[in-house]
Amino acid sequence: MKYFYLSFLCCMLLNCKQNISAVKKLDVERPDPHSFSQPQLARTTHLELDIECDFEQKKIKGIATYDIEQKEAIEIILDDLGLNIQEVKLIDDHNNESNTEIRMDAPDSTLGTAVHIALQKNTKKIKIKYESGPDATALQWLNPLQTNSKRYPYLFTQSQSIFARSWIPCQDGPGIRFTYHAKVKVPVGMMAAMSATNPQEKSANGQYEFNMEIPIPAYLMALAVGDFYFKPIGLRTGVYADSSVLDKAVWEFADLEKMVVAAEQLYGPYPWTRYDVIVLPSSFPFGGMENPRLTFLTPTVITSDRSLTSLLAHELAHSWSGNLVTNSTWEDFWLNEGFTTYFENRIMESLYGKSYADMLSLLGFQDLQKAIIELGDTSELTKLKLNLKDKDPEEALTDIAYEKGKMLLRYLEERIGRNEWDGFLKSYFNHFKFQSNTSEGFLKYLYTYFPKLEKGIQDTTNHWVYDPGLIGYSPHFENSRFINVEKQVNLFAISPSKYKLESGKWSTHEWIHFFRHLPKDSSGQIRNNLEMQYHFSLTGNSELAFCWINYLIENGIKDQEMEQVEKFLLSVGRRKYVLPIYENLSKNGRLKDSKAFFEKAKEGYHPITKNSIQNLLYPKI
C-alpha cells in the first residue's frame, strides 16, 4: 500500500487550475488515528459523484461534490491515497462557484496525504475534479481473459479499511457518515452496481445512476463493473453474477431470504430495503465485504452443497453490526466483527440447529486459540480495544476481533440469560443506529441497561476488552459431531490403508476439524489413502483444497504434488487461503517455489492480497 511518490505534489501543482498556497495548519489532535480529517471542525454530509470508468487507462475519473457542515472553519481536510486532484472549487449558499487554496501535506507511507481545502464562511459545498492513480489500492482492473466470460474486462473496489481514499477523495474514517448519489459511465455492454439502489438489467448506453439515502462511512463505498447479470431469490434478495456462475449461485444461496427473516426475528427489522449479493471474480481478496444492499462475495463459497453459506449469514449480520452501528475507529474493530460473528452464529442456529451452529463456533474458537499462540498471550494485538496510533489499521484484521469479541458476547449471554441478552442487543442496535460507537460507549450502555449486573461480570468484561489474551472461560458448545470426527481420525491414523472413514454425511466443517487433528504423516500412507478414497487433489471445494494443500506442505510435499499448489494459487485470490500457503511453503523449505508461484500469480491478485504476499516473501530490512 506504499504507492506515494515525491513527484505527485509537483504533478498536482501543474494540473491544478487554481492558485495553491499554504493554508494555516490547525494544531488539533485527530479523533481518528487513521484519517487526517477533522470532522469536528468541518465534515462531509452528502456526496454527488459523477465518474467514468476508463478501462484503457485503468482510471476512475470525474467529479466528487460534497455538501459540508462547518462552523466558520478555515478549512476542511480530506484523505487522499495516490489520487490526481486536478481542480477544487467552492460553492456557496447561492450556488456560486469560486476558486480556493489547497495544500497537500507530505505523504505518509500508510495513510496517504492530507488535503487541506481553504473554506469561506458561506461555503456549502466543495467540488473536486480528480482521477485515481495507476496503483490505487482499492481497485482491481481485470482484463477479459481474467474473467469467466472472457468478453469484457472487470473492475471492483475494496474500500475497507482505509482504501476508499484511493478512488474517491473523502474523509475516510468509519466515524464519518454521508449519503450519496452517483452517476457512473461504463463501456456499453457492461453492468455497474454499487452499495446503493441497483439496476437489475444492463443499461443500453452504459450510463447508471445510484442512490444511497442512508448515511454510510467511506469504507462502505463500493463499485463493481463487469459482464454480470441478476436473478432474484426472494422478494428482497437476489444475486448478481457472471452467466456461467449465476444459476449455481442462486441454488447455493437459496436460504438467503430465510436468513434475512431469521435475523429480523432476532434483532429487529432489516434497515436497508434490499439485501443482494454479487459473486465477484476469484481474485476478490476476502470471503465477503458487507457493502450495504450489495454484499461483495468470493466465488469460493460456491461448493454445490451449501456448506459454506455461514459466510452469507456473517455479511448479512453486518447490516446491523457494522453498517447500522459502526466502530468509531479501527481501534474498536471488534464492535463490528465480534458482534457480527456472534450474530452470524445465532442466524445459523435459527436455521440449522444448535449442533450445526456450535460446530462453527468450535472451529472459530480453535482459530482464536491459534491466533493467541501466534501473537503471544501478552501481545497488545490480542486486546479487543486496540491502540493503533502510528500503526497500519490492517494489523487489527485478525481472528481476535472476530472470535474473542464473539466469545465475550457468548460469555455475557450465558451469564445474563439469552432472553435478557437478546433484549439488550435489540435495544443496543436501535439506540445507536446510523451512528458510530466505541468500546467505552458499548460498556456504558451495557452497565446502564443492566444496572444490577454483578461486579464480577463487569470486572471480567472489562478485563476481556482491555487486557491481552483470554480469560478462564469455557463456552458451553455441543460438540458431539466433532467427538465423532476425532474418533474417526484416531482409527484412520492407526491403519490408514485398511480403515474406511464413516464420513458420508460430513459437512465441510467436519472435514476441516478432521484435517486439523490429523497426525504427522511420516510414511505417506495417510495422504496416499485419503487421496485414493476422496481425491482431494481434484476437489472443487476451496476450503477443503486449502486444508489438503497445507497438509501436504507440512508433511514433505513431493515435486509432483506442487502442481496442485501452483494451480490453486493461480486460480484463487482470497487472501485467507493464499497467504498462509505462501507462508507455509516458505517455512517448509520451498521458499524458491513460493516466490516462483507468486511471480506467475501476482498480476491476478487484488492489490491488497498482492501487497500482503509481497511483504511476506520480500520483507524490508
Q: Which residue numbers are catalytic?
A: 315, 402
C-alpha cell of residue 396: 487489527
Amino acid at 368: L
Length of the chain: 621
C-alpha cell of residue 9: 505534489
Backbone region of residue 282 per phi and psi (left: phi > 0; alpha: psi in -120 to 50; beta: other values): alpha
Rounded to whole angstroms, how far apart are CA atoms 122 and 138? 34
Partners of 350 in the β-ladder = none
Residue 404 is classified by DSSP as I
Rounded to whole angstroms, how far apart are CA atoms 144 and 148? 8
CA 406, distance to chain mean position in Å, is 17
Rounded to whole angstroms, how far apart are CA atoms 114 and 107? 8
- Cβ contact 283:605 at 8 Å: yes
Partners of 42 in the β-ladder = 70
Q: SS in 3 state form for 317-330?
A: HCCCECCCEEECCH
How many Cβ atoms sit within 10 Å of the Cβ of residue 578? 24
Residue 321 is classified by DSSP as B
- Cβ contact 111:79 at 8 Å: yes
Residue 83, SS3 per DSSP: coil
Q: What is the DSSP string of 140-204?
A: EEE-GGGSSSSSS-EEEE--TTTTGGGTS-B---TT-EEEEEEEEE--TT-EEEESSS--SS--S
Q: What angle do CA 573, 575, 580 make, to 5 degrees?
A: 115
- Cβ contact 426:325 at 8 Å: no
Which residue is listed with cell 482491555? 466
Rounded to whole angstroms, how far apart are CA atoms 59 and 57? 5
Q: How many alpha carbons lie under 13 Å from residue 600 in its C-beta half-sphere?
A: 14
> What is each CA distance from 152 to 59, 61, 188, 306, in whole angstroms?
16, 20, 10, 29
Contacts of 283 (CB under 8 A, 6+ apart): 140, 142, 146, 573, 604, 605, 606, 609
How many Cβ atoms sit within 10 Å of the Cβ of residue 577? 22
Rounded to whole angstroms, how far apart are CA atoms 65 and 127? 4
Rounded to whole angstroms, how far apart are CA atoms 360 and 78? 41
Rounded to whole angstroms, how far apart are CA atoms 25 and 21? 12
CA 363, distance to chain mean position in Å, is 20
Backbone angles phi, psi at 131, to 5 degrees: -135, 150
- Cβ contact 311:297 at 8 Å: yes
